[in-house]
Amino acid sequence: MPLPEFWKSKLSDVQDCVGKIRRASVETIATSPGGRELFLVSYGQRRDLQTQATYSSACGAGNPAWYAHKPAGTAPTVMLLGPVHGHEVENIVGLVNLIHLAETGRDHRGREWPKLAESFEKCRVLIIPCANPDGRARCKLDSFVGETHDTMAHWGQGSRADGSDYGWPGVKTRMPMVGDVGLLGAYHNDEGVNVMHDDFCAPMAGETRAVFDVARAEAPDYIAMLHSHGGEPRPLPVSYVPRAIKQKVYDFCEQLASRYEAEQLPFRPPDELTEGVVGEPPTSLNLTSAVHHVCGAATFTFECSHGVSDEPYPHVTHEQILDIQLILYEELLNFALANPVVWER
């Protein structure tokens, strides 16, 4: 079945998109092991952060403003990180449509989003349309709407040499994913690194270092790590960050869930806040948590729906997936404007 014209999920769509940008700066921030570019698209004026310390050192001095001076009235910076798992194509669709909206005033369906466009103009917005182009290039499907969950997991998480699928969380038992590999899943770059679970003290992947470099240089106030799964759309709770950051993410989750409910879209309410890290073994310190400690941002993982056909997963359409994406961006920018980060010396 042909995909809708607005469904821009291929690397060629990203390339075409960035080639037409006129209102933002575009730079290549890394080249993948497979020789593919990671693009950073930057809208809005860059802030003069007056940096004289790392975020860690500034916190040690008792004031993060020694790392990033953010006086009252400063426009917020929001960073949107496209999929580090290459098969989670829904987020490429969302970001390519968001860039088209920023450039033309409409998404690729021709629909205007006036509130989103207004908020966009008031923020600095950093967009990495695809953080794992190697994985995206190996995924042969451009959409999982109507496919089975097993099909999605096969392409995303790959298989062993005997043909059996790794599945989740088995896909995380090898890092990097080398050796017993039949199909290298789109979770990984061409060297088998899953950027979400890189060695953050000594990153193996240039893609990981590039994300850290952008976050460190820009000090975003909010960072959304864009992922997809079989279930309802939801931001995930983040573990290894201060309680105040957890509360801020929780408040945003409630706002987003209310909007999805009002739009009659599937959603999952936020989990209750917990003290510390709960469970044994402990929750991993993944990219979402790690990047907070580089720049101090309120970071969260957002899981979009793939639209797989199995029960009990929500059966969402291509149209609904794009709405889920653009509503996320609208609500996040609105939240950033309503909840500014002020760090003053």
**Mean pLDDT across the chain, nearest whole number?**
96
What contacts 232, CB < 8 A, 6 or more positions away?
Answer: 266, 267, 268, 305, 314
In a domain, 344, yes or no: no
Distances (CA, A) of 58 to 217, 223, 288, 294, 308: 15, 20, 21, 11, 45
How much is the pLDDT for 24?
A: 98
pLDDT above 90: residue 282: no
Cα 82 from chain centroid (whole Å): 5
pLDDT of residue 194: 98
CATH code of the domain containing 236 = 3.40.630.10
- What is the bridge-based pairing of β-strands 25-31 and 222-229? unpaired
Cα distance between residue 76 and residue 287, in whole Å? 22
Decide if 1 is inside a domain.
no
Q: To the nearest 10°, the Cα dihedral for 128, 39, 139, 212?
A: -60
Q: pTM of the predicted model, to two decimals?
A: 0.97
> Confidence class of residue 272 from pLDDT cuts 50, 70 and 90?
confident
**Structural domain count of the chain:** 1
> Does residue 345 form part of some domain?
no
- For residue 300, is pLDDT > 80? yes
- For residue 138, name the pLDDT band (cuts at 50, 70, 90): very high
Parallel/antiparallel/unpaired status of strands 298-305 and 234-236: antiparallel
Q: CA quadruple 324, 330, 333, 338: dihedral positive or negative?
A: negative
- Residue 281 forms part of a structural domain: no
The pLDDT value recorded for residue 141 is 98
% the chain with pLDDT above 70: 100
pLDDT tens digit sequence for 49-107: 999 999 999 999 999 999 999 999 999 999 999 999 999 999 999 999 999 999 999 99
Enter the tokens of residue 203.
């990153």
C-alpha closest to that of 219 among 338, 105, 52: 52
Q: What is the pLDDT of residue 280?
A: 74
Q: Which residues contact 217 (CB under 8 A, 6 or more apart)?
A: none
> Is the residue at 282 inside a domain?
no
Domain coverage including residue 198: 11-275+287-338
DSSP state of 159: B
According to the model, what pLDDT value does residue 154 have? 97
Tokens, residue 55: 């975020």
Q: Assess if residue 280 is contained within a domain.
A: no
Residue-level pLDDT at 279: 76
Could you read off the pLDDT of 188-215 as tens digits, one per residue?
999 999 999 999 999 999 999 999 999 9
In a domain, 150, yes or no: yes
Phi-psi region of 74 (alpha: psi -120 to 50; beta: other; left: phi over 0): beta
Alpha-carbon Rg for the chain in angstroms: 19
> Is 182 a domain residue?
yes
